[in-house]
Structure formats: structure tokens, C-alpha cells
């Protein structure tokens, strides 16, 4: 059976671009979300998240009648579940949204449908989804009961797109397809081939689940190595950026860049899923998380030491001193402040500092609640003209473009090596 109607459950950073990609290939797509505001916004042909080029694709799809949003699931040939999987206080994965999504689509499932889990999940989550569906629909058969003959096919296919480049990577990246049976994988590949230019690489659901967690843990461990080097180099009086540049001239060395810590909703979260399931084996992965999570506190100590130097040299009182934090986003050239180490550091600075804390963030128009009232949002020029201490937290392009001559301050904490 080919796919005419497709339903995407969860219209966030992954679900909405995916729904729009299918709709742009003239499939009838219904996006489902519990957020009424998101549903209304999309049905007006607008978007509620920031991602380059997504607005145009959604507008065309909605105006063409191929994409609509709803708060209630409808019957479809294929379902993609793309809801959040955060972790709980103890770093255990929280599967409540996935469970709710599975239980919401179960009543409208029809024989022959394909269900795909895309959300980053612990190993075994796809089998769990199939179990929840089977529990709600004893009238249908599922792969764990009927194998290749099942009425409903179930697969895990992780998204791997980079925020800021979603519309390109969604189409071009290869896709890992983890069906519960070979038939499930074949049908899932057929579905993605509707818009995919990359290749569908087939495996089973547990390997596909682990593959997604592995990719982000690989990056986390490698960033932790760079962050650990930055601590060691600070103690040894060595410029870590020069060191990494030199080491990377070796043909088999490719060290990533240190920074204020690791942010975003993926790399700082996903490794914990492996740790939670394998606490005794995942020692390196756990330590990497701890190294990266500890970095903002180390940066804060650098700020305190730099301010102490500035006070001693200038003879000013702390209340007379202005500290300017450059950048709040979780990585360069985006406006996303969620899970951002730069935000965490700016908050620590504002709470600790007796004088004024300035913030420069060219990608936002007003300060988030956590900082409003404690800091002032200013332009690059204002900060450079009035601040005593500069703290560079994100390497946004406009910060990189600042002429070295314009930086007259000698008290600088530069977490990205921009003003070295």
C-alpha cells in the first residue's frame, strides 16, 4: 500500500519540518500537537519556531491544501511520532510524551498502517511503543506478535538534523531505518524516499535507537576532551586554541573546540540515556557529561578572578564596575537560548556581581525572564564603550567581526578564543 495520507505527531523542531517536507511532495499531511497555539499558527500558514526557510515551505504547503494541523489524531497511512523525550531529575529518560502519543493514535489506527518513532529514545523504546499500541488495539496484530504478517508495521528512524540547517539536512542526510521486521524497514524506507535525497540504511530498531544516542555521545565526549584541554592549558599558561590548531595538523587528529559548556536539547541530554541503561559500563560517557556540565562553573570562577584583578588594578568599587556578557544562545548565529551554558553563566554573573551586568545578544530583541530586571540588553558598541570586564560566551559572527583595535579592555574572559 502506498502512502497518501501521513500524520506527524508533535509539531516541534523536527515534526514540523518533516510534516512540511512530505506536504511539499504533495502528500496529504495532518500534523497533530497538543499545543493549540502551534496548531492555530500553522493553520494560518505561519510557524511558531525559528528555522531558516521553514516558514516558506509551511506557507506553500498550507496554502496548497497539503498540510493542516489539529489537536486530535486522524486516520492515516503512516504516523511519525516526533515528540520530546526529556530526562527526569535523576537523568532517567521521560517517555511520557511518547506514551501519550502512542495512546492517542491507537484508536484511529487502521490495518496496513505504518508507525514510526523518531524521538530520541532509550534502547527498547520502539518495542515499548508497539506494546502500548497492541494493548489498546487487541483487534489488530503487531510485529512482536505476527512478525512479517502483522497488520501494523513499526519502526524507529531517528532524526539527525542540525538546528539552523534542518531544511537542507532533512533531505540530504542519510537515514537510519530500524524496523521491527524487514517488512517494517522496507515500508519505512519507502515512506522517507518520498522526499529523501540521502540513502536509507536499514537495521533493526534497537540498533537504530542506539545509533542516535551514539552519534550525540560521540560529539559530547569529543567536546569534553576539548573542554578538559582548556582547563589544563589555563593552568599551564598555554593558548588552547593555538594548541588544538597545531595538534589538528596531524593527519589523524581532529580535536573539537572548547567553549563555555555544551548546550541544546540533544547533546547534553542523549548521553544520559546510555548512562541510565548502562550505569556500570558507560564511565567515559558519564564523565564527559560531567566535564561539560562543569565548564560553566569553571568559567564563572575565571570571571571572579578577572574581576578581582580589575578591582585591584583600577581601585574601583565592585558596584562601580560594569561586566558585559557577549552572547546568550546555545551556539553561534541562532536565537535559541534553551539549555544554553551562556545563559547559565550570564545568570550567575548577574546574581553575583554587585555592579551592572550588560548583555549583548544580536539575535534577540528583549531579555528572557530569567535575566530581565537583573541585566541590560545593549549593542556591541555600547558594551565595548562602557564595560570594564568583557565575557565572550558565544562566537556569533558579529562578535568575530569586531576589530581587535575596538577592544580596549584588558580584563577579558574569552570562552571561544575570539579575541585572543
Contact 325, 393 (CB under 8 A): yes
Task: Considering the complex, state which of residue 179 and residue 264 has its C-beta at the smaller distance from ligand SAJ.
Answer: 264
Adjacent-strand bridge partners of 116: 80, 155
Q: In this chain, which stretch among 161-169, 195-203, 243-251, 359-367 interacts with ligand SAJ, using CB under 6 A? A: 161-169
Contact 351, 327 (CB under 8 A): no
Strands 78-81 and 114-117: parallel
- Judged by CB under 6 A, the residue of 160, 322, 353, 396 near ligand SAJ is 160
Find cell 496554502 and name the residue: 63
Task: Considering the complex, state which of residue 20 and residue 329 has its C-beta at the smaller distance from ligand SAJ.
Answer: 329
Burial of 388 (0-12, 13-18, 19+ CB in 10 A): buried
For residue 413, give the 3-state DSSP assignment: strand
Q: Residue 358: enclosing H or E segment and its boundaries?
A: strand 356-360
Minimum Å gap between C-beta 262 and ligand SAJ is: 4
Minimum Å gap between C-beta 389 and ligand SAJ is: 22
Quick one: cell of 176? 537510519
- Judged by CB under 6 A, the residue of 122, 264, 296, 327 near ligand SAJ is 264
Task: Considering the complex, state which of residue 215 and residue 293 has its C-beta at the smaller distance from ligand SAJ.
Answer: 215
Minimum Å gap between C-beta 211 and ligand SAJ is: 11
Angstrom distance (rounded) from CA 349 to CA 340: 14
Q: In this chain, which stretch among 77-85, 238-246, 260-268, 315-323 interacts with ligand SAJ, using CB under 6 A? A: 260-268
Q: Does 66 bind ligand SAJ (CB under 6 A)?
A: no
Task: Considering the complex, state which of residue 144 and residue 257 has its C-beta at the smaller distance from ligand SAJ.
Answer: 257
Q: Does 184 bind ligand SAJ (CB under 6 A)?
A: no
Q: Does 257 bind ligand SAJ (CB under 6 A)?
A: yes
Q: Does 48 bind ligand SAJ (CB under 6 A)?
A: no
Quick one: cell of 162? 542540525
Angstrom distance (rounded) from CA 204 to CA 157: 10
Active-site entry in 27, 157, 200, 212: 212
Task: Considering the complex, state which of residue 45 and residue 362 has its C-beta at the smaller distance from ligand SAJ.
Answer: 362
Q: Give the number of residues in contact with ligand SAJ, rule: CB under 6 A.
A: 20
Quick one: cell of 288? 564527559
For residue 302, give the 3-state DSSP assignment: helix
Find cell 512482536 and name the residue: 144
172 among known catalytic residues: no
Angstrom distance (rounded) from CA 16 to CA 390: 38
The contacts of residue 370 (CB under 8 Å, 6+ apart) are 343, 347
For residue 68, give the 3-state DSSP assignment: strand
Contact 194, 22 (CB under 8 A): yes
Minimum Å gap between C-beta 416 and ligand SAJ is: 8
Site for ligand SAJ in 78-107 (CB under 6 A): none
Task: Considering the complex, state which of residue 62 and residue 394 has its C-beta at the smaller distance from ligand SAJ.
Answer: 394
Closest CA to 216 of 128, 298, 275: 275
Active-site entry in 266, 310, 325, 375: 266
Running DSSP on this structure, what letter comes out for residue 72?
Answer: S
- Judged by CB under 6 A, the residue of 161, 180, 367, 383 near ligand SAJ is 161
Minimum Å gap between C-beta 173 and ligand SAJ is: 8
Closest CA to 161 of 271, 41, 266, 276: 266
Angstrom distance (rounded) from CA 330 to CA 260: 9
Minimum Å gap between C-beta 24 and ligand SAJ is: 20
- Which residue of this chain has its Cβ atom nearest to ligand SAJ in the complex? 266
Q: Does 295 bind ligand SAJ (CB under 6 A)?
A: no
Site for ligand SAJ in 198-227 (CB under 6 A): 215-216, 219, 223
Angstrom distance (rounded) from CA 77 to CA 273: 31
- Judged by CB under 6 A, the residue of 93, 122, 178, 259 near ligand SAJ is 259
Task: Considering the complex, state which of residue 10 and residue 163 has its C-beta at the smaller distance from ligand SAJ.
Answer: 163
- Judged by CB under 6 A, the residue of 272, 273, 330, 411 near ligand SAJ is 330
212 among known catalytic residues: yes
Chain contacts with ligand SAJ (rule: CB under 6 A): 120, 159-163, 215-216, 219, 223, 256-257, 259, 262-264, 266-267, 330-331
Q: Which residues does the annotation mark as catalytic?
A: 212, 266
Amino acid at each position: 500500500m502506498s502512502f497518501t495520507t501521513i500524520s506527524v505527531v508533535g509539531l516541534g523542531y523536527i515534526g514540523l519540518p518533516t510534516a512540511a517536507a512530505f506536504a511539499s511532495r504533495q502528500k496529504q499531511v495532518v500534523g497533530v500537537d497538543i499545543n493549540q497555539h502551534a496548531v492555530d499558527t500553522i493553520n494560518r500558514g505561519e510557524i511558531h519556531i525559528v528555522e531558516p526557510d521553514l516558514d516558506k515551505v509551511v506557507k506553500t504547503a498550507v496554502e496548497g491544501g497539503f498540510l493542516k494541523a489539529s489537536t486530535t489524531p486522524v486516520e492515516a497511512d503512516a504516523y511519525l511520532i516526533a515528540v520530546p523525550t526529556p530526562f527526569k531529575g535523576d537523568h532517567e529518560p521521560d517517555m511520557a510524551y511518547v506514551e501519550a502519543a502512542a495512546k492517542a493514535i491507537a484508536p484511529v489506527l487502521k490495518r496496513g498502517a505504518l508507525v514510526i518513532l523518531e524521538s530520541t529514545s532509550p534502547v527498547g523504546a520502539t518495542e515499548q511503543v508497539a506494546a502500548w499500541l497492541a494493548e489498546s488495539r487487541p483487534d489488530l496484530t503487531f510485529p512482536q506478535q505476527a512478525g512479517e504478517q502483522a497488520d501494523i508495521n513499526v519502526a524507529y528512524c531517528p532524526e539527525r538534523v542540525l538546528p539552523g540547517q534542518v531544511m537542507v539536512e532533512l533531505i540530504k542526510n542519510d537515514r537510519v531505518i530500524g524496523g521491527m521486521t524487514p517488512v517494517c524497514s522496507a515500508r519505512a524506507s519507502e515512506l522517507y524516499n518520498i522526499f529523501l535525497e540521502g540513502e536509507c540504511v536499514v537495521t533493526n530498531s534497537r540498533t537504530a535507537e542506539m545509533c542516535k544516542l551514539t552519534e550525540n555521545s560521540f560529539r559530547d565526549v569529543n567536546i569534553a576532551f576539548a573542554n578538559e584541554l582548556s582547563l589544563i592549558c589555563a593552568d599551564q599558561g598555554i593558548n588552547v586554541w593555538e594548541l588544538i590548531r597545531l595538534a589538528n595538523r596531524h593527519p589523524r587528529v581532529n580535536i573539537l573546540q572548547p567553549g563555555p559548556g555544551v548546550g541544546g536539547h540533544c547533546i547534553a541530554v542523549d548521553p544520559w540515556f546510555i548512562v541510565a541503561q548502562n550505569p556500570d559500563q558507560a564511565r567515559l560517557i558519564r564523565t564527559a557529561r560531567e566535564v561539560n556540565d562543569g565548564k560553566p562553573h569553571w568559567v564563572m570562577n575565571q570571571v571572579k578572578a578577572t574581576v578581582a584583578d580589575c578591582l585591584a588594578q583600577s581601585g574601583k568599587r565592585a558596584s562601580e564596575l560594569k561586566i558585559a556578557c557577549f552572547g546568550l544562545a546555545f551556539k553561534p548565529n541562532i536565537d535559541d537560548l534553551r539549555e544554553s551554558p551562556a545563559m547559565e553563566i550570564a545568570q550567575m554573573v548577574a546574581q553575583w556581581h554587585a555592579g551592572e551586568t550588560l548583555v549583548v545578544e544580536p539575535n534577540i530583541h528583549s531579555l528572557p525572564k530569567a535575566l530581565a530586571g537583573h541585566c541590560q540588553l545593549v549593542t556591541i558598541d555600547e558594551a565595548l564603550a562602557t564595560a570594564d570586564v568583557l565575557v565572550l560566551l558565544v562566537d556569533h559572527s558579529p562578535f568575530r567581526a569586531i576589530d581587535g583595535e575596538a577592544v580596549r579592555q584588558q580584563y577579558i574572559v574569552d570562552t571561544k578564543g575570539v579575541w585572543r
